[in-house]
């Protein structure tokens, strides 16, 4: 079987490598020539643990090729995965232009029967549109089927999730198409859920909306904890022990980001709104999340006074650890607000610096060295819970900073460890720790 994957981003590249590793012949096509040239040389375009070695291995053994040539990619293809981006439009709905361009290109080059399998997150009805676009432009002798195969991978654990995901959803109106896809995925031994196309499309949005709701819920509990002097870690642990609730996604923090939750929640609000069904619960989830992104700088001003001229280390730029993806990351809001306050910013991240530089250019400083970020800093704001930050010895804050003041947006450290080190520390939903009595005065958020 010849498999083609359209899109060499996070989803397309991981899917291509995963399928090639399973022994399939995979061609991955992208419209970005530079990206494909790098991939042909075995240089990954994204940071994902374990990706580089599997990429190079599967190029070497001939299972995986990259191209920008649609004729090479689509002619003779048995299964074509669509994994192009579906970014958000200004009104929050999904922008489907990349999907439609891909569908037109496929139609132009398809020369045999094929399954078109959509991994991109798309609104209900899109797969039927893809079917209509392609089938309306190919000779009647060529037959296609569409399958909605939404992707659930977590960036930072993408390859692990390809091989060990919780479930594979196959939405199709044709049992034969479902059965071909089932055979393809069978070696993974991951439970397969077969549905109709529309249900599969909605499953992806519903899953992301539910996870986002869990995050905003615990963040609201954290905000209440701060007001009453409770500890959200203890509250979250105890409620998470209830099997009906479960502990994942109950870590309080400064809100979710990334390329999926923000855009998919907004898109689902739009989908519901277009059907004259206001999704009020999800609207509140989004509002709470936006508010969380603003908390670190509010807290920084409360604890440190005016930030003008103060050296502020922003620790963590990626929207989560183990990725270089900074799309909709809380760090971006923090940096923008710090700039408005006139702070001197140095941004630290093990993988996210190149992408962040594309946004802020030379207006801030960057480093991949934690100690350099902290050197003579007045303030540190933790935006991403990288291991390099979580497992750093706490004395680097006291040794390197002008004064050890941390606003921790990800609750990286235990309060007792912080107390032992004489650090002033404001985390999320937990009591503040003050290094000295003098600093308590301006702190107004706690009663
Ligand atoms: N990133 C994730 O963790 C994740 C998880 C689940 C689902 N998704 C969904 O998967 C889709 C892709 O997400 P992503 O993060 O991989 O996006 P991405 O932006 O990282 O990659 C998309 C790629 O598609 C390429 N592309 C655009 N038009 C093309 C065309 N006509 N032909 C070939 N390539 C084309 C782009 O150049 C880009 O390299 C989105 O719908 C997203 O919502 C993403």
| pLDDT score of 441 more than 70 | no
20 CB-side CA count, 13 A: 27
Q: Which atom of ligand 1 is nearest to the CA of 46?
A: 20
| pLDDT score of 165 more than 90 | yes
| pLDDT score of 437 more than 80 | no
Nearest to 236 by CA among 220, 210, 213, 218: 218
What separation in Å is there between the alpha carbon of 6 and the centre of ligand 1?
Answer: 9
Q: Is 153 in the pocket of ligand 1 (CB under 6 A)?
A: yes
84: left (phi over 0), alpha (psi -120 to 50) or beta: beta
Residue 137 confidence class, pLDDT cut points 50, 70, 90: very high
What separation in Å is there between the alpha carbon of 340 and the centre of ligand 1?
Answer: 32
Q: Is 151 in the pocket of ligand 1 (CB under 6 A)?
A: yes
Q: Which atom of ligand 1 is nearest to the CA of 11?
A: 16
Residue 120 confidence class, pLDDT cut points 50, 70, 90: very high
Q: Is 102 in the pocket of ligand 1 (CB under 6 A)?
A: yes
Give the pLDDT score at 444. 44
| pLDDT score of 65 more than 90 | yes
Q: What do you get for the CA distance between the two ends of the chain, in Å?
A: 66
Give the pLDDT score at 446. 37
Dist CA 391 CA 350 (whole Å): 14
Residue 32 confidence class, pLDDT cut points 50, 70, 90: very high
What separation in Å is there between the alpha carbon of 416 and the centre of ligand 1?
Answer: 43
Per residue in 90-116, pLDDT tens?
999 999 999 999 999 999 999 999 999
Q: Best substitution site from 10, 81, 97, 260 to test ligand 1's pocket, by max atoms within 8 Å of Cβ? A: 10
What separation in Å is there between the alpha carbon of 153 and the centre of ligand 1?
Answer: 13
Q: Is 11 in the pocket of ligand 1 (CB under 6 A)?
A: yes
DSSP 49-85: TTHHHHHHHHHHTTSEEEES-HHHHHTT-SEEEE---
Residue 445 confidence class, pLDDT cut points 50, 70, 90: very low
What's the mean pLDDT in 210-223? 98
Per cent of the chain over pLDDT 90 is: 97
| pLDDT score of 296 more than 60 | yes
133 CB-side CA count, 13 A: 20
Q: Is 324 in the pocket of ligand 1 (CB under 6 A)?
A: no
Name the average pLDDT for the chain.
Answer: 96
Q: Best substitution site from 8, 11, 31, 323 to test ligand 1's pocket, by max atoms within 8 Å of Cβ? A: 11
Give the pLDDT score at 87. 96
Q: Is 86 in the pocket of ligand 1 (CB under 6 A)?
A: yes
Residue 447 confidence class, pLDDT cut points 50, 70, 90: very low
What separation in Å is there between the alpha carbon of 122 and the centre of ligand 1?
Answer: 11
CA distances from 301 to 153, 226, 340, 415 (A): 37, 17, 12, 21
Q: Is 31 in the pocket of ligand 1 (CB under 6 A)?
A: yes
CA distances from 403 to 295, 381, 423 (A): 21, 13, 8
Q: Is 238 in the pocket of ligand 1 (CB under 6 A)?
A: no
Q: Is 10 in the pocket of ligand 1 (CB under 6 A)?
A: yes
Could you give the angle at which helices 330-341 and 353-360 cross, rounded to 10 degrees?
A: 40
What's the mean pLDDT in 130-155? 97
Q: Best substitution site from 13, 36, 83 to test ligand 1's pocket, by max atoms within 8 Å of Cβ? A: 83
| Burial class (CB within 10 angstroms; exposed 0-12, middle 13-18, buried 19+) of 92 | middle
Give the pLDDT score at 388. 98
Residue 436 confidence class, pLDDT cut points 50, 70, 90: confident
Q: What is the β-pairing status of strands 365-367 and 405-408?
A: unpaired
Other CB atoms within 10 Å distance of the CB of residue 371: 12
156 CB-side CA count, 13 A: 19
What separation in Å is there between the alpha carbon of 15 and the centre of ligand 1?
Answer: 11
The set of catalytic residues is 260
Give the pLDDT score at 440. 58
Other CB atoms within 10 Å distance of the CB of residue 431: 15
Give the pLDDT score at 395. 97
What separation in Å is there between the alpha carbon of 369 and the centre of ligand 1?
Answer: 30
Other CB atoms within 10 Å distance of the CB of residue 17: 30
- E-only strand ranges, 287-434: 311-315, 344-348, 365-367, 379-382, 405-408, 424-426
Contact present, 147 and 118 (Cβ < 8 Å): yes
Contact present, 270 and 262 (Cβ < 8 Å): no
pTM of the model: 0.94
Q: Is 338 in the pocket of ligand 1 (CB under 6 A)?
A: no
| pLDDT score of 142 more than 70 | yes
| pLDDT score of 122 more than 80 | yes
Contact present, 5 and 17 (Cβ < 8 Å): no
Per residue in 312-368, pLDDT tens?
999 999 999 999 999 999 999 999 999 999 999 999 999 999 999 999 999 999 999
Dist CA 311 CA 379 (whole Å): 7
Dist CA 368 CA 351 (whole Å): 8
Per residue in 255-280, pLDDT tens?
999 999 999 999 999 999 999 999 99
């Amino acid at each position: 079987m010849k498999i083609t994957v359209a899109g060499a981003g996070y989803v397309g590249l991981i899917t291509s490598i995963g399928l090639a590793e399973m022994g399939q012949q995979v061609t991955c096509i992208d419209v970005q020539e530079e990206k494909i040239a790098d991939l042909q040389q075995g240089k990954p375009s994204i940071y994902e643990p374990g990706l580089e070695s599997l990429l190079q291995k599967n190029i070497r053994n001939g299972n995986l090729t990259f191209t920008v040539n649609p004729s090479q990619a689509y002619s003779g293809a048995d299964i074509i995965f669509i994994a192009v981006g579906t970014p958000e439009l200004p009104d929050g709905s999904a922008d489907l232009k990349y999907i439609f361009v891909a569908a037109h290109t496929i139609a132009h080059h398809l020369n045999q029967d094929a399954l078109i399998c959509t991994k991109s997150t798309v609104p209900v009805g899109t797969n039927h549109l893809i079917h209509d676009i392609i089938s309306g432009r190919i000779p009647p002798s060529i037959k296609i089927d569409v399958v909605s195969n939404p992707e659930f991978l977590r960036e930072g654990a993408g390859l692990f999730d390809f091989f060990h995901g919780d479930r594979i959803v196959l939405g199709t109106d044709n049992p034969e198409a479902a059965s071909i896809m089932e055979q393809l995925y069978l070696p993974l031994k991951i439970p397969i859920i077969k549905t109709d196309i529309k249900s599969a499309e909605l499953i992806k949005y519903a899953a992301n909306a539910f996870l986002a709701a869990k995050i905003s819920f615990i963040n609201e509990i954290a905000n209440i904890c701060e007001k009453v002097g409770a500890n959200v870690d203890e509250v979250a642990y105890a409620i998470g022990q209830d099997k009906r609730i479960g502990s994942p996604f109950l870590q309080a923090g400064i809100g979710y980001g990334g390329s999926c939750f923000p855009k998919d929640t907004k898109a689902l609000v739009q989908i519901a709104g277009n059907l004259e069904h206001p999704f009020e619960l999800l609207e509140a989830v989004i509002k709470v999340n936006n508010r969380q992104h603003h908390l670190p700088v509010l807290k920084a001003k409360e604890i440190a006074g005016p930030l003008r001229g103060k050296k502020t280390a922003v620790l963590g730029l990626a929207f989560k650890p183990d990725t270089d993806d900074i799309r909709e990351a809380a760090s971006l809001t923090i940096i923008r607000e710090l700039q408005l306050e006139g702070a001197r910013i140095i941004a630290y991240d093990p993988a996210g610096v190149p992408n962040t530089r594309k946004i802020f250019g030379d207006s801030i400083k960057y480093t991949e060295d934690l100690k350099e970020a902290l050197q003579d800093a007045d303030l540190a704001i933790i935006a991403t819970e990288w291991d390099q930050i979580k497992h750093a010895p706490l004395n680097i804050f006291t040794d390197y900073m002008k004064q050890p003041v941390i606003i921790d947006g990800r609750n990286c450290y235990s309060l007792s460890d912080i107390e032992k080190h004489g650090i002033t520390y404001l985390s999320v939903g937990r009591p503040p720790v003050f290094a000295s009595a003098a600093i308590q005065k301006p702190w107004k958020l706690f009663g």
